[in-house]
Amino acid sequence: MHCPFCRHPDSKVVDSRTTDDGAAIRRRRQCGSCGRRFSTLETTSISVIKRSGVTEPFERSKIVSGVRKACQGRPVTEDDLAKLAQEVEESVRSAGIAEIEAHEVGLAILKPLRRLDVVAYLRFASVYQAFNDLDDFESAIEVLRGEQHQTTGQQALVDEETHAPRRPRRNGANSQPKTQSRAVKGRSEKNSESRPAQERLL
């Protein structure tokens, strides 16, 4: 590992920590020549097998680039695309395989993209699910509408339970209003004052 400051080829590891839930190791290195420190990130490599049979390393930037085309003209930010690419990578790595077909990577994008923007999802799905005619689009739209109605219904039930009026508490048979208890207390004190001093001492 060359030092990014002086390009010296020798460095030593002074600290190591896991990151990304154990999917990567961040190492703190110190240059043997200039003594300056820098960090490196070590991850397991995943190869993507393209249709031509050529393999290339998995990169988030390519996920972002491919999804950005489907999101043109949609209210999707670069942060949204970065989060989507991270989710796709986590999904691919969780499969525990070293090589994956490019088509499978495209399918892994569909679920988070559907949550992000349904129009971009339809654009992207038309390619990776090989839509042939309008019937394929209509079927996909019907599925999206069914999911939207189901989510709306669940949210309505939650709102009803949250905003439901509470029943007033019932007072016990022996409970009395505060005004009444104060009146009783006043009469008790008055009766106590009218008693002889000897009786109050008993």
Least confident of 1-10, 124-133, 168-177: 168-177
**Residue 28 structure tokens:** 């703190």
Q: What is the pLDDT of residue 169?
A: 56
81 and 29 together in one domain: no
Domain that holds residue 74: 47-134
Least confident of 45-59, 89-103, 122-136, 169-183: 169-183
22 and 85 together in one domain: no
Instruction: Please identify, among 119, 134, 149, the residue that sits at the C-terminal boundary of a domain.
Output: 134
22 and 94 together in one domain: no
15 and 83 together in one domain: no
Instruction: Please identify, among 134, 159, 190, the residue that sits at the C-terminal boundary of a domain.
Output: 134
The C-alpha torsion from 51 through 55 and 58 to 61, rounded to 10°, is -70
For residue 138, what are the CA distances in angstroms to 89, 120, 124, 132, 171?
30, 15, 15, 11, 60
**Number of domains the chain contains:** 2
Task: Encode 149-187: b = buried (16+ Cβ within 10 Å), e = exposed.
Answer: eeeeeeeeeeeeeeeeeeeeeeeeeeeeeeeeeeeeeee
d(CA 109, CA 83): 11
18 and 83 together in one domain: no
80 and 128 together in one domain: yes
Mean pLDDT of the chain: 77
Query: Of residues 86 and 191, which shows the higher confidence score?
Result: 86
Q: Residue 20 — pLDDT band, cuts 50, 70, 90?
A: low
121 and 52 together in one domain: yes
Q: Which of 79, 67, 78 is nearest to 114 (CA)?
A: 67
Task: Encode 93-113: b = buried (16+ Cβ within 10 Å), e = exposed.
Answer: beeeeeebebeebbebbeebb
d(CA 63, CA 82): 9
At CA 93, angle to CA 121 and CA 61, rounded to 5? 55
CB count within 10 Å of CB 34 equals: 13
64 and 112 together in one domain: yes
Is 181 within a domain?
no
Q: What is the DSSP letter of 15?
A: E
28 and 59 together in one domain: no
Residue 4 pLDDT exceeds 50: yes
Least confident of 10-14, 22-26, 129-133, 195-199: 195-199
39 and 87 together in one domain: no
Is 27 within a domain?
yes
Is 177 within a domain?
no
Q: What is the pLDDT of residue 150?
A: 62
**pLDDT, tens digit (0-9, with 9 covering 90-100), for 142-158:** 877 777 666 555 454 44
Cβ–Cβ < 8 Å for 48, 35: no
Is 143 within a domain?
no
**pLDDT, tens digit (0-9, with 9 covering 90-100), for 72-94:** 999 999 999 999 999 998 888 88
35 and 99 together in one domain: no
Q: What is the mean pLDDT of residues 34-55?
A: 89
Considering all CA atoms of the chain, what is the largest pairwise distance in Å, rounded to the nearest integer?
112
Instruction: Please identify, among 134, 167, 197, the residue that sits at the C-terminal boundary of a domain.
Output: 134
